[in-house]
Amino acid sequence: MSAPPRLFDRALHAKRLDRAASGFTAADFLQRRAALDLVERLEGIMRDFPRAVDLSARKGAFAEALAETEAASRVGLLVETDLSAAMLSGRDGPRLVLDEERLPFALASLDLIVSTLGLHWTNDVVGALVQIRRALKPDGLFLGAFLGGSTLTELRQALTDAESEILGGVGSRVSPFADSRDAAGLLQRAGFALPVADVDRVNVSYEHPLRLMADLRQMGETNVLADRHPRALTRTLLARAAEIYAQRFSGPDGRVSATFEIVTLTGWAPHASQPQPLQPGSAKMRLADALGVVEHPLPRGE
C-alpha cells in the first residue's frame, strides 16, 4: 500500500506550537469553544470512562471545561497529550508528548479519546482515526473537533488576489482544510460505528487583518505545508492583501470578518450491543402500510 501524500511538515508544526506556547492562552478562544462543545456532548452520555486520552491538549482547555461539570466524576484517568512539549509544560497530571500520526497506545486499551483542533494538521486523517479506533475498547467513544473547509476563506481570497496582482501567479500560503460534508464519511472509512458530524461556523471580527494573522501565529495555526510557496511573503504583498481584505470583508464599523468552521465528530468503536442496520428484505411491514397510504404501482414502460 502506498504511503499517503505528505501535505504538512509535522516537525515545523511542532516548532510553531512550541513558539506559540508561552502566549497561547491569549488566543485560545477557538480551542476553548471546541472543548466546551465536546464536554457538553460527553455530559449527555451516562456512562463511566475509566481511561481517557486528550489528543492535542494544548494548554488544557478540555480538562478545564470537564472539571466544571458532573461528567468529570465519570472520567477516571485523563492523559493529556500534544505534539508540543512546551504546550504541556507547567501543569499537573499525566502528560505525554506524541505525534497523532503514530499513537503509542495498546490495542483496545482506552475508553475515551478526545481530539481538540489537531487532526486537520495530520497528513492522513483517516489513518489517524483508524489508530484512534484501534486504541479504543469495543464500544469506546471518540469525540473530535477539527477546522473545516470554510476556515479562513477571506484570508485565502485576499492573499490569492494580491499575489496574482503583484507576482502574476499564485501559490499555497494557507493550509487546506477538509470539506465538512465529508466528515461523517471519514469516521465510516476508519471503521467507527454510529458516526455523527456537526458543523459550527464562527465569525470573528478584527480591527485589522494583521490582528487576525497575529492570532493565527499565537495559536500555532500558521502555514506548515510541506510544499510551501518558494517566495517569501513580502511586506508589499502582505500590505496589498490587507487592503483587499479590508475592502471586501469589512463591516459598517470598519472591522473585518474572519470565518472559522469547527467540525465536530462523534464515533464509537464497534460492539455487538450497538444498534445494527436491518438486512435488506427483512422488513415485517410494507412502507405504504406503515405510512397509512395507498400504494400505486409505477406504469410499465413501452
- Averaged pLDDT score across all residues of the chain: 89
Task: Give the CA diameter of the chain.
Answer: 78
| pLDDT, position 229 | 66
The CATH number fitting domain 10-152+176-203+260-271, selected from 3.40.190.10, 3.40.1400.10, 3.50.50.60, 3.40.50.150? 3.40.50.150
183-211 in b/e burial notation, b at 16+ Cβ within 10 A? bbebbeebebbebebeebeeeeebeebee
**In this model, does residue 299 exceed pLDDT 70?**
no
Domain boundaries, the chain: 10-152+176-203+260-271
Segment 180-209, tens digit of pLDDT: 788 889 999 999 999 999 999 999 999 999
Whether 283 shows a pLDDT value over 60: the answer reads no
Q: How sure is the predictor about 105, in pLDDT bands with cuts at 50, 70 and 90?
A: very high
| Per-residue confidence band for 294, with pLDDT thresholds at 50, 70 and 90 | low
**Which run of H or E residues covers position 171?**
none
Q: What is the pLDDT of residues 158-176, one digit of tens each?
A: 999 998 888 776 666 677 7
Residue 257: the pLDDT is: 96
Q: What is the mean pLDDT of residues 39-48?
A: 95
The pLDDT of residue 278 is 54
**β-pair partners for 179:** none
Nearest to 189 by CA among 132, 142, 126: 126
Neighbour tally for 162: CB within 10 Å? 23
Q: What is the pLDDT of residues 224-245, one digit of tens each?
A: 888 766 677 789 999 999 999 9
